[in-house]
Amino acid sequence: MNEIKKSDFFTAGKDGVKRILTPDDKKIDIIEFDDKKLCYVKSGLGYPAIYPLHETSFEKKAEAILMDLDGTSVHSESFWMWVIAQTTGRLLSKPSFEYEKEDEPFISGHSVSEHLQYMIDKYAPGASLELARQYYFEIVNYEMDEIMKGRGKQDAFTPSPNLKEFLLAVKNEGIKIGLVTSGLYEKAMPEIISAFRQLDMGDPTEFYDSIITAGYALRKGQTGTLGELAPKPHPWLYAETARVGLGIPFERRHKVLGIEDSSAGVVSIKLAGFSCVGISGGNIEKAGIGDLCDYKIDDLMQMLEIIV
Q: Which of 167, 187, 156 minimizes the C-alpha distance to 259?
A: 167
| DSSP label of 93 | T
Looking at per-residue pLDDT, the higher value among 201 and 183 belongs to 201
DSSP string, 34-91: SS-EEEEE--TTS--EEEE-------SSPSEEEEESBTTTEE-HHHHHHHHHHHHHHH
Torsions phi, psi for 37 (to 5 deg): -130, 140
Domain boundaries, the chain: 2-52, 64-75+159-307, 77-148
DSSP 164-200: HHHHHHHHHTT-EEEEE-SS-HHHHHHHHHHHHHHHT
Residue 201 in this model has a pLDDT that exceeds 80:
yes
Q: What is the pLDDT of residues 239-297, one digit of tens each?
A: 999 999 999 999 999 999 999 999 999 999 999 999 999 999 889 999 999 999 999 99
23-56 as b/e: b if 16+ CB within 10 A: bebebbbbbbeeeeebbbbbbbeeeeeebebbeb
What band does 107 get if pLDDT is binned at 50, 70 and 90? confident
Confidence of residue 217 (pLDDT cuts 50, 70, 90): confident
Q: Do the beta carbons of residue 278 and residue 295 sit within 8 Å?
A: yes
Alpha carbon distance 278, 109 (integer Å): 13
For residue 159, give the H/E element and its range: strand 158-159
CATH class of the region 64-75+159-307: alpha beta
